[in-house]
Copies of this chain bind each other. A is one copy, B any other.
Amino acid sequence: MSSSSTSSWSDDLTIKTLAKERENPAFDIRKMSIVQHGSEKDLEKKEKFMLEASRDPIFYSGDIYDLTKEQIRERTMQRIQRLAHYVTSESVDDFQKRMELMSLLDPGLWTRLGVHYGLFLGALRSGATPNQFSYWMEKGVIGCNGMFGCFGMTELAHGSNVAGLETTSTFDEQTDEFVVHTPNLGATKWWIGGAAHTATHCAVFAQLIIKGKKHGTKTFVVPLRDPKTYQLLPGINIGDIGKKMGRDGIDNGYIQFTNVRIPRAYMLMKHTQVTREGEVREPPLQQLTYGALLQGRTAMVADAANTAKKALTISVRYAAVRRQFKSDPKAGLETQILDYPIHQRRLMPLLAQSVAFGFTALELQRLFDETSQALEALEPGDPNLEATIEMLKETHATSAGLKAFCTWATLETIEKSRQACGGHGYSSYNGFANMYSDFAVHCTWEGDNHILALQSGRSLIAQYQDAVEGKKLSAGTGYLNNIEQVLAAKCPSDAALDTLDGIDRGWATVAAHAVKKAADDYQSRLKAGRSREQAFEDCSQVRFVAASVHTSGYIFRQFRAAVERVEKSGDGVREQLELLAKFYGLWQMEEKAAFFLRSGWLSPSQLDVVQAKVTEYCAATRQFAIPLVDSFAISDHVLNSPIGRYDGDIYREYFRMVRRNNPQLKAHPYFDRLIKPFIERQAAEVEDFDEAIGIDEEIEEIKQDREEAEAEAKAEAAAKKEEAKKEV
């Protein structure tokens, strides 16, 4: 339809509006994009993967929002087959990058493949002896040839507490086998990704029992299905656990084992060994096994950054082309909603935060690589042992806090982005509904966010004690060094609030206060006679707060460091990134203002300055908001959201997508069956049953009959009485 003369709406207005936003950008967009992706090579790699996916019919996503769970699962299986091609044909690093993109494009697919390559293969890598690993390699584990693995940890009645799992694996010395068994309903393996349709083998977490004695939870590879027929093996019961909030592409299932026998060599024995005689050999260093957790968290922080950028690309572009109300009634066009200060307040801080998360994810990946290399290089009796364990501990605590607070913040970002798109945000076709429901599980799996935050808080208390005792802390908690000085610091001037260093100092002081509060509360509980575990529980809320404030400060520092690594070369990148970093630091200060006032680092009037600056930075960021989301480099195919299109042609494309997925039917789907009888039924006329039956006359007759009978009875009785009197 073309625009009529009475209308201010024109078909190309949205396209022109977005083009205008890209004129004279405040920075070199390509350069800005490279900096955020770590290197030009990494950006090019991502672009290559996006191009390949967008042209591959298996990755067509135009119909994805209307598929049933069953259809999505089949589609996902097809995609798995496609990706398996790349596993064997490209480098591990390239494949990891490809998977990072897949997580953004199709989170269910990422999970389903991740169950095999991340969890199952990861369990083998960290738990199998070299010979065991070779055995499974020969079986085809790398290319999914003849086998597909799943990961049997959680049970119906047990989640986080691995030590409390109840599935048993009992050694039978006679046959040299383990007998894997589900002793009760609550011990049913639950939520097992890939179990319902895909897996042939499972890495089962079970209590090792030998000669009636429990030896704790170990991992056993248990065959589930005949790979030739996919029939369940004897003693295996598997069912589909069905509909979930999101990620329908992954076939989660339950598994019950009934006296299932496996060879002794199917227990992973890198750490604990069980000999032919049933002797148990425990490893000297239990800690080193938890390095495996880091990979998942590192991937999730990256996913949090990427997903926040995806959501904001849509909501910010929509805010630029959507118009509503006029500030001046005589103005020709309505105002772009991105020009309203309140709309800037809704989205711009989240934009700065997503960039902060991106840099933090790059740093965490670096830390993870460094830690992994150090771990791999470690030999028994190594002099670097203590240093490596310290590094692992710190990376562990840092990643715990980051996983928790970044995934929470991104979930909120998705929801706020959706709300910022008004009604159209509620349409599935614009992507937020699935993005939210797919992402939400990040707050729960691989460690519930609250539990992880508390772990981070517990580690901070320990670090604080070290600092007080004069031990020098490294990077992540370095601000706790010179603790007295840091605690006593105050914001020196309003001007300090406009520098990276000034803001950094504020976070150091306020985080130090939060950590001190947690450490003090913990100590006072100990003094009150509580056990260590009780004392930690008692002060869980302050521990939580310490982790929260510490993590915001940590993220700000990563952002600052990333900015300071960028050269000043006149292309605007360094300058605008610096603006965004200050913006993030100040906005988080405003969000957590009570702690800044409480610690005395900010005076009340300085808080007003912070608030005014945040509003100012909202307006400044709005000026380059479109070039900034362009620099996130997320293709229209990955966005899969017509209102977030790069070219701004949002309404036509949205209309097309809705029509394509909901063709107008020739016949009404249930008119004859349901609507016709309803709409044509007679208006309810309450028939007067009383009158038709004549119930009232009848009642009256009954009453009269009764009265007559009574009168008769009375008369009779009176007569009798009279007679009796006469007789007496």
Contacts and interface: CB of A to CB of B under 8 A. Distances in A.
B674 A74 contact: yes
A541 B342 contact: yes
A81 interface: yes
A341 interface: yes
B243 A1 contact: no
A143 B428 contact: no
Given A230-B668, A246-B433, A419-B443, 10 more contacts: A3-B184, A6-B207, A66-B242, A74-B674, A200-B679, A230-B675, A242-B661, A254-B655, A341-B541, A597-B604
A449 B437 CA distance: 22
B340 A78 contact: no
30 contacts: A1-B185, A2-B184, A3-B183, A6-B168, A6-B209, A6-B214, A11-B185, A74-B674, A81-B674, A84-B678, A143-B683, A144-B678, A145-B682, A147-B679, A154-B423, A164-B324, A200-B679, A230-B675, A230-B676, A242-B428, A245-B426, A245-B432, A254-B655, A341-B540, A342-B541, A345-B540, A345-B541, A415-B440, A541-B611, A600-B604
A682 to B, nearest CB: 8
Contacts of A655: 156, 185, 188, 254
A346 interface: yes
A88 interface: yes
Contact of A671 (B230, B533, B669): B230
Nearest to A74: B670
Given A243-B428, A422-B444, A540-B345, A533 B327 contact: yes
Top-6 shortest CB links A-B: A593-B594, A245-B433, A243-B428, A4-B183, A342-B540, A240-B662
A655 B240 CA distance: 11
Interface stretch (A29-37, A190-198, A309-317): A190-198
A637 to B, nearest CB: 19
Contacts of A623: none
Given A164-B325, A184-B3, A327-B533, A426 B11 contact: no
A283 interface: no
A341 B433 CA distance: 33
A160 B245 contact: no
Interface string A523-541: 0000000000110011011
A450 interface: yes
A166 interface: yes
Contacts of A171: none
A234 interface: no
Interface string A69-85: 11001100110110011
Interface in A392-436: 411, 415, 418-419, 422-423, 425-429, 432-433, 436
Contacts of A197: 668-670, 675
A190 B654 CA distance: 11
A437 B437 contact: yes
Given A66-B243, A239-B662, A679-B145, A184 B4 contact: yes
Q: Which of A164, A593, A674 gathers most chain B CB within 10 Å?
A: A674
A724 interface: no
Contacts of A652: 185
Contacts of A668: 197, 230
Contacts of A448: 419, 422
A400 B507 CA distance: 37
A725 interface: no
A95 B283 CA distance: 69
A207 B4 CA distance: 14
A600 B605 CA distance: 12
A146 interface: yes
Interface string A1-33: 111101101110000000000000000000000
A160 B324 contact: yes
Interface in A648-666: 651-652, 654-655, 658-659, 661-662, 664
A537 B341 contact: yes
Given A183-B4, A184-B4, A227-B679, A190 B242 contact: no
Interface string A573-595: 00000000000000000000110
A285 interface: no
A48 to B, nearest CB: 20
A375 interface: no
A624 B465 CA distance: 38
Given A607-B598, A651-B185, A674-B77, A440 B423 contact: no
A65 interface: yes
A692 interface: no
Interface in A146-189: 146-148, 154, 156-161, 164, 166, 168, 182-188
A445 interface: yes
A679 B144 contact: yes
B160 A422 contact: yes
A365 interface: no
Contact of A674 (B78, B345, B680): B78
A191 B423 contact: yes
Interface string A195-238: 00110100000010100001000000000000111100000001
Interface in A321-350: 322-327, 334, 340-343, 345-346
A199 B334 CA distance: 32
B144 A324 contact: no
A483 interface: no
A185 B445 CA distance: 44
Contacts of A454: 342
Contacts of A561: none
B598 A604 contact: yes
A520 to B, nearest CB: 11
A156 B642 CA distance: 13
A68 interface: yes
Interface string A230-263: 1000000011111111100000001000000000
A554 interface: no
A573 to B, nearest CB: 29
A140 interface: yes
Contact of A537 (B340, B415, B604): B340
A448 B419 CA distance: 8
A684 interface: yes
A426 B327 contact: no
A89 interface: yes
A617 to B, nearest CB: 12
A544 interface: yes
Given A669-B70, A675-B198, A683-B145, A183 B6 contact: yes
Contacts of A726: none
